[in-house]
Structure 1
Amino acid sequence: MSTDKASTQKGVHYDPRNQTTINDPIPVLRTLQEHAPVYWCDALRGWVITRNEDVKGVLRNDNFSADRITPFYEAQSQERQSSIQQLIRYLNTWVAFKDPPEHTRLRKLMKTVFSPETVAGQRGVVERSVKRLIDRLEGQDSFDFISEFAFPLPAMVILDLLGLPEEDMDDLKTWSNKMQLFIGSATTSPEKYDLAEEGAIRMAAYFRDIIVKREQNPGDDLITHLLALREVDDALTEDEVIGTSMLFLFGGHETTTNLIGNGVRALLRHPEQRQRLIDDPDLIESAVEEILRYDGPTGASVRIVKNTHSLHGVELTAGERVFVMINAANHDPRAFKDPEIFDITRSPNLHLTFNFGPHFCMGAPLARLEGQVAIGEVLRRLPGLTLAAENYDYMDTMIMRGLREMAVKNVR
């Protein structure tokens, strides 16, 4: 017997399109946690899961598929399908949207090029890039922290890893932002499909040109190493090399930009925690973990129900979408004591920001490294930094969580 979806709402109204909810989703998500842990959201046309154990259960359960691209595409009209054909072509190569055995194959190949040694080798690049950016900002009285620091830093690092010139940063950001409207499940942009298709076409053409250059003149970068994998068993196709390069670029800067932006905002809003970190810089690793939990760069992850089954007495039907709310899971009092308190010494701190199970984020070590170096140096070298506004608007995206801009004052 199927579930009456309206009955799961228990009188709670959750509208992810509301800017107030986008800016601060935790209050309503906590209400869902307590009263409607499996909630049908009309606006999303999918289920919303909020409890920590349930979120982990979905992320590690074979009853759910990470491939949300194929069923979405197949459900569209022929006209819509033709308008997003290239976007889907490349997103379908992303390991994030794959189930075993394809997920296993791609992840194994990617780990050979994106190794712990590769990440450790980037520390010097991160430190030099942070110094460059702060040198430029020290003398300014005010600036947008996102566009002047939180975005360019991880972009500089991932461009270095990919062997791409910094002067291409603005174009790549434009194309990436257009794709983000689709990948991030924007809820209010009516043109998101057309814009995302345009971004994918431009970015794919860019990487196709880069591949030709690398074939003629190999370097010591991720794209060259990805191309070398075409010579091994289970080799990457050209589309997979292009798609994986797009994934490295997108994932390599988006998550870390939001980690740094959200993190600095949290510290500026909690002056006692900020001072504690200034007094004891060795707390930076713990502080970054608490930032990842308290206001991390991940809002949700999406899965598709593979086999009809029940959760908390609610029937989930095969083919339905499920939004597992990472931010809600990170604020579940069943998993964290006093979850609304920002405590940079919190331990243990088993947040789910980098996912859980087989899809745990391979870029987590690099994001942590960049966050630790960047936030530590911002506090040390910009001690007079303050927020220029009480409230800021977060981006319209279910998947990522980050600020559109963050005006700050630099009191010297």
Structure 2
Amino acid sequence: MTSADPQEFFALFAPERRPDPYPAYRRWRERWPVAALNERMFVVSGLAEATQVLRDPAFGHPEPEYLDPADRLPDQPVDESGRVVRAFLSLNPPDHTRLRRLVAKAFTPRMVEQLTPRIEEIAAALVARAPAEFDVMAALAKPLPVEVIAELLGVPLDDRERFAEWSHAMARALDPPFLQRPETFEPAVRARQSFVGYFRELAARRRREPGDDLLSALVAVSDAGDVLTEGELLVTLTLLLIAGHETTTNLIGNGVLALLRGPDGLKPLGTDGENAARVVEEVLRYDSPVQLTARTALRDAELGELAVPADSQLIIVLGAANRDPATGPSPESFDPAREPGRHLAFGQGIHFCLGAPLARLEARIAFRELARHRPGLTLTGTPEWNPTTTLRGLSALSVASGG
């Protein structure tokens, strides 16, 4: 068995490595593209191995657990038998297939396409409003996805400010147990409670008075008579909030930082932002907003040269896999002219991110607006990173508009 030292693995995520964990990732991946920390815990960091885990039906998620009422979190959705209701991202077929199909019928490419003019309008207003010196995160990267997901769900204007607070608190609690900080748990529980209560009420309103928004579509969606239960609706909305807000915020911030650290600043985007789509793909590969994901072995399986027993846990280090030499030449370098290639930023297989087109669209538009109206942008301070690992992103990024 190819074994690795658990403490050496945990050290990859030490706070002092947060600004740049990638050299440590590279050293780990070169030694152990897949390794066992113990008989039931495996770490996957190579591109081929990570792709296999994400695509192979031998790897999935544990079955939802049954909880006694005394053990449930406040307002935790459960089904009639007492099983915890989970979003389709954390389910296996056939439950995953059923739930994703229902959500996909409501969250259509056409709905995303129709949002384009509104996203352009929001991004243009945010960039125009920013002073000569500003924080990219506060001025653009954070408010743009919040406004977009709130607009998509039909959330009234007066309620949108709470969105960012709920999302940020819940996102800080997404790290695996070995990285979890105790002080993040209570705020996350309170935020989820507030979010669930709010959307339970708003969904009831949409059932009475449907609108032209995703929440109304999710409330009304059916497939051969099958519909979303209230619990399924609420966990789906929670997923949409975090995936539709936090990851896109991080994608925009990480991208601006990578560009401004390069010799040409925003110039690789083109004078009219015509290269934004290619740059977005390179940012997703080079500094992915999602660094970790996990799977469970649903049966005995083979991974690389290792035998993985059923019920083993696997941690996939997406940030390491996305810089595997198999992704292309000079994988440790940010090359905004690189032709889009392989990366796992949105996952693979049946769990490929349903919101990927929206995240890409928002980032393209944000980069395009900056290229058009703030082409001389430069860094003016030290970037500040969020204290999380699963979701990698900045809390502040100070810049000046330049000439």
Question: Given the two structures, how large is their TM-score scaled by the length of structure 2?
Answer: 0.90
Name the residue aligned to 1:154: 145
What is the CA deviation profile of residues 334-393 of structure 1, one whole-angstrom value per residue up to 9, with x for unaligned ones?
232110122222124121111111111111111111111111111221123222224432
- The offset of 1:22, in angstroms, is 2.6
Give the distance between the partners of 1:92 and 1:403, measured in 2 at CA.
Answer: 31
Q: Distance in 2 between matches of 1:244 and 1:308?
A: 31
After the TM superposition, which residues 102-121 of structure 1 pair with which residues of structure 2 at under 5 Å, given as runs? 102-121=95-114
Decide whether the 8 Å contact of 2:267 with 2:371 is kept in 1: no
Q: In terms of mean alpha carbon deviation, does 317-326 or 155-164 score higher?
A: 317-326
Q: Do structure 1's residue 25 and structure 2's residue 14 form an aligned pair? A: no
Contact 1:300 1:326 in 2 (8 A): yes
Instruction: Give the distance between the partners of 1:10 and 1:193, measured in 2 at CA.
Output: 24
Give me the whole-angstrom Cα distance separating, in 2, the residues matched to 1:387 and 1:41: 40
More helix by share: 1
Residue of structure 1 equivalent to 2:45: 50
Give % identity.
35
Where do residues 241-280 of structure 1 align in structure 2 (5 Å cutoff)? 241-272=233-264, 274-279=266-271
1:155 CA drift (Å): 0.8
SS in 2 for 1:122: helix
C-alpha distance in 2, partners of 1:224/1:347?
39
- 1:133 paired residue among 123, 126, 136: 126
| Distance in 2 separating the partners of 1:11 and 1:198 | 32
Query: What letter matches 1:369 in structure 2?
Result: L
Question: 229-238 or 162-171, which moves further after superposition?
Answer: 229-238
Corresponding residue number in structure 2 for 1:65: 60
The answer to whether the Cα contact below 8 Å between 2:127 and 2:139 also exists between their aligned partners in 1 is: no
Equivalent residue number for residue 192 of structure 1: 184
Q: Counterparts of 2:341 and 2:320 in 1: how far apart (Å)?
A: 15
Cα distance between partner residues in 1 of 2:73 and 2:12: 24
Residues 1:372 and 1:361: Cα distance change in structure 2 (over 3 Å): same
Equivalent in the alignment of 2:158? 167
3-state SS, counterpart of residue 134 of structure 2: strand
**Would you say the 8 A contact 1:9–1:36 is kept in 2?**
no
Select the residue among 392, 395, 402 that pairs with 1:404.
Answer: 395
| Structure 2 residue corresponding to 1:96, chosen from 89, 101, 106 | 89
**Residue 283 (structure 1) aligned with residue 275 (structure 2):** yes
Mapped to 2, the partners of 1:388 and 1:246 lie a distance apart of 35
Counterpart CA distance in 1 for 2:344 and 2:210 is 38
Q: Which residue of 2 aligns with 1:362?
A: 354
Q: Are residues 1:8 and 2:4 paired?
A: yes
1:231 and 1:37 map into 2 onto residues whose CA distance is: 42
What per-residue deviation string (whole Å, max 9, x for no partner) do you get for residues 160-214 of structure 1?
Answer: 1100023322322222222213334372411333332222111100001101211
Deviations 1:105-164 (A, max 9, x none): 111111111111111101111011011111210xx2432211221010011111111000
Measure the CA separation in 2 of the matches of 1:157 and 1:189.
Answer: 30
Over 3 Å counting, the alpha-carbon distance change for 1:89 and 1:302 in structure 2 is farther
Counterpart of 2:133 in structure 1 is 142
Change in 2 beyond 3 A, CA 1:231/1:331:
closer
Distance across 1 between alignment mates of 2:257 and 2:150: 26
Aligned to 1:82: 71
Unaligned segments of structure 1, at least 5 residues: none
Amino acid across the alignment from 1:207: F
Matched, 1:183 2:174: yes
**Structure-1 separation of matches of 2:360 and 2:397:** 21
User: CA-to-partner distance for each residue in 1:304-353, whole Å, 9 max, x for gaps?
Assistant: 12223343443433333211111111100123211012222212412111
Cα gap change, 1:315 to 1:182, in 2 (>3 Å): farther
Distance 2:148 2:98 in 1: 26
| Cα distance, 1:96 vs structure 2 | 0.6
Residue 213 of structure 2 is aligned with which of 209, 221, 239? Answer: 221
Q: What is the aligned partner in structure 2 of residue 332 from structure 1?
A: 324
Give the residue type in structure 2 aligned to 1:82.
D
**Aligned residue-pair number:** 397
Range with bigger deviation, 388-397 or 297-306: 388-397
Match of 2:35 among 23, 39, 42: 39
Matched residue SS, 1:304: strand
Contact 1:354–1:360, Cα closer than 8 Å, also in 2: yes
Structure 1 residue 236: deviation in Å? 0.8
8 Å Cα contact 1:9-1:39 kept in structure 2: no
Single out whichever of 125-134 and 89-98 deviates more from structure 2: 89-98
Report the secondary structure of 2:284's partner residue.
Answer: helix
Matching of residues 362-401 of structure 1 within 5 Å:
362-398=354-390, 400-401=391-392
* Bigger shift: residues 188-197 or 93-102: 188-197
Give the unaligned 5+ runs of structure 2: none
Native 8 Å contact 1:307 1:318 kept in 2 = yes
Specify the code of the residue in structure 2 equivalent to 1:248.
L
